[in-house]
Structure formats: structure tokens, C-alpha cells
A and B are shown apart, each in its own frame.
Chain A
């Protein structure tokens, strides 16, 4: 109990010490999500033919919101060092495509669910966790964004959906694959995955 109190008070000091950035990460995440919702709600883009335009617009927002290199590096963790710079670049690119293919239809199928942003927790001076909820008629889905400050910008490096961290989830998978395979073989698996979709 005492230990917890000490940790809590240390955290309190941290929270009180960095009021400068308070609110900025939350606003950044909320703005990005609102821009996504605007694209999805845009009546001019309702026709099926406009799907590609929508995708292109979403891609721009994604690039703005996420730090892909940070994201990739964290999923590879210690394995990042085993990749050559060229392999790293290809990995970042392929991984992004895998994610896009997996989630784009889910995002495009959006139908007026409500998104609530309600809490920002500063993990450190340069990192924050933003909590949000998607509210559907049958359930609420908690989605947290983990953000890092890069210069003057806050970028997302991890998304936690229903308590499951994406970075952690991919890290476990890549770790498992790289335990028995070379980076080149992993890239080959990713290439295949991107193609077969």
C-alpha cells in the first residue's frame, strides 16, 4: 500500500510538472479522428465509385497521424537491429500495406457510430495515452492511442483496442517468426500477404 502511495505521488509530481503539453495530444488525436469521420460522412463521396478517393484521403490523414517508422521499430523491437536499412524501409512499407488491407474495409463500413474522446494520461514528458470509445448500439469499444512527441508534433505509435495493444500483438508474432527465420524470410511472408489479399 505504501509502495503504491509512493508511486502515485511520484506520478502526481510528473503530472504536475508537465502542464505545458496538457491537452495537446488529445486534441491532435481527436482532430485526426474527426477528419476521418468527415471523409466517411461526406455525402459527395457516398457512391461506390468514390471509394478510391476516400482511401486516398484517409491515407493522407493516416500519414499525418501515425509515425510509421516508430510503429514498425516497436513491433520489431530488438529484431530491428538485424534488418539492413533497405530491409527496414521495405518492412515499413509492407507492414503499412498489411494494416491498410486489414482495416480499411472496417473503417469504410463506418455507419454513424459515436466516437468519444474522454481522457488523456501523460506517461512521460514526451508520451501520452489518449482514451476514446466507439459507441455502437450493442456495445462500447474502448480504443486508446499512444502518442509520442516528435519535435512539435504528436504522433501515434500504438493503438490499443479493447485492451489489446497492436504493437505488442505484432511484436509477439514477429518475435515468433524471427526466432526460426531470417529477416528476408519475414519480408517474403509479408510480400505474400500483401499480394494474396
Chain B
């Protein structure tokens, strides 16, 4: 079992390659480019994809004159991901698409008819509360101790006073313990692991080798996974997914409707979304030092 996990980690490190440089904010483009190229070489993808991953020359060409000041923004936002498995991914995208329209959506719609929204939000809170171990661990692994403390506090408050997590009193104005937006994928990112290439898992959707570690971690750290017999955890997972879908029917449809190539649109949305989270995390880490100092002086004054 252990050697199995180790080999997965090794695979991720080799596939993703390290992010170079110690300051990811200052040199985002450089790290991205080198990282993408490393991946591209390793998997020797077809020419079309390599064109996708190399740095665009358009900034120079396009941002002459009136758009000059924009080049910096466009560069800082350059987000691409290598996609060597595109044929497989496209097939999986189709599979998930059919799964959504033929099964998940009708079921979620029926469920939505029967269960009122406040109840569905409670169910969502309940499952979110069970996600505590992974957020707590992620905060600890990132040395974000105030985040870990917040999570621990939330879990205690919501489990006891929130009726096992059905309600979320910890987020109220008085307590203000906000859920920490973190996971193992972001933790690995903070260690300098690159996201690697794009992969679409059946049932689970868009991911990357790095975020796949998070999916695995989620499984192992979810208390529901350890209930026997095996179909109980599967059943609860189905409830969780149906419930979540019932609260966001229409989101996927509008993304798909608006897209010219839904597969590419989805891939881009996924990678943009993850990138911004990592960026925010880095900004927060920078601000956390200052915050800690302030807290320290405050408690000293008391």
C-alpha cells in the first residue's frame, strides 16, 4: 500500500516538474513556460499541442501602441495547460456530459422538486462539515496555523451547535469562522509542484495529476469512506453529488451553451479557476506574516 502511494507521488513529481524560482508571484510567466515545456518534452505530444503550450508571441505583436500597458496583465494571466491526452479527455468529457444530461440532471431535478431549498443547503453544509479533515490537514501542511485553528473551531462549533453540521453557525457575524478555501492540490502547489497536464476523469471531471492527489486524499480522509458495507459510502456520495447538483442546475448548461468548443472552454475554465486560487493563497501567505505580527502586538498591549 505504502509503496503504491510513494510511486504515485513520484509519478506526480516527475510528470509535473518543479516550479523554478522561489517567488512565484514575481515570475509567473517564466515558471509556467518552462514547466509546460518540460511536460511537453516528456510525453512527446503532437505538434498542435506544443503550439498551445509555448509562450504566445502575440503580446509583442498585438500590444504595440495603445495596448502597451496591457501586455503586463495579459502576461501575468497567461494560463495554459498541456493536454497530451486530448483524445482520451475528449471521450471522457463526452461521457461525463451524457452522464449529466441523462442521469444526474433528471435525478437532481426530481430531488429539487421534493426537497425544499433550505433543506438542501443543510445537506450541503453537512457534507461540507465532513470535509474538515482534508482542510485541516492542508492548512497544517501549509503551516497556516490560524487557518487550521479556524477549521478546528468551525468543526467543533458546527458539529455541536450546528446539529452535526447541518447548520453553519460558525460563519455567522459573531463568530466569523469562515471555511478555509484549501485542499491538497493547493498544498502541493505551495510546495512548488506544478499542475502537470490536463486529465478528465470519468464521474469526477476535470483534473490534473496534482489535483488527483487531492481527489485521492479526499477519499481517504472522508469519514464516510470507512463505513461498511461498501455500498453505504457509495450511496452517501450519490446523495452528496445529487444534492450539490440540485443547487447548481443550469451552471453547466450555460457554460456549454456559451462555448464554441465546450471541451476547450471547460479546460480553460478549470485551469483559470485553479490558478487564481493558488495566486490568492500566495497573496494570503504574504499577508499572514503581517497579520501575525499585528496580533502579537495587540495581545502584548492587552
Contacts and interface: CB of A to CB of B under 8 A. Distances in A.
Q: Interface majority SS on B: helix, strand, loop or mixed?
A: helix
Given A3-B23, A3-B26, A106-B254, A163 B276 contact: yes
B260 A174 contact: yes
Contacts of B300: none
Interface stretch (A28-36, A52-60, A74-82): A74-82
Interface residues of B, number: 40
A163 B264 contact: no
A7 B276 CA distance: 19
Interface in A85-120: 98-99, 101-103, 106
B273 A164 contact: yes
Sort chain A's interface into a size bin: 35 or more
Contacts of B62: 77-78, 80-81
A163 B273 contact: yes
A189 B260 contact: yes
B113 interface: no
B176 interface: no
A47 interface: no
A165 B277 CA distance: 14
Contacts of A80: 62
Interface stretch (A17-25, A37-45, A61-69, A122-130): A122-130
B174 interface: no
Interface of B: 23, 25-26, 48, 51-52, 56-58, 61-62, 69-70, 73, 77, 79-80, 117-118, 120-121, 124, 247, 250, 254, 257-261, 264-265, 267-269, 272-273, 276-277, 286
**Nearest 8 pairs between A and B by C-beta?**
A78-B58, A102-B258, A163-B276, A172-B268, A102-B257, A164-B269, A173-B264, A164-B272
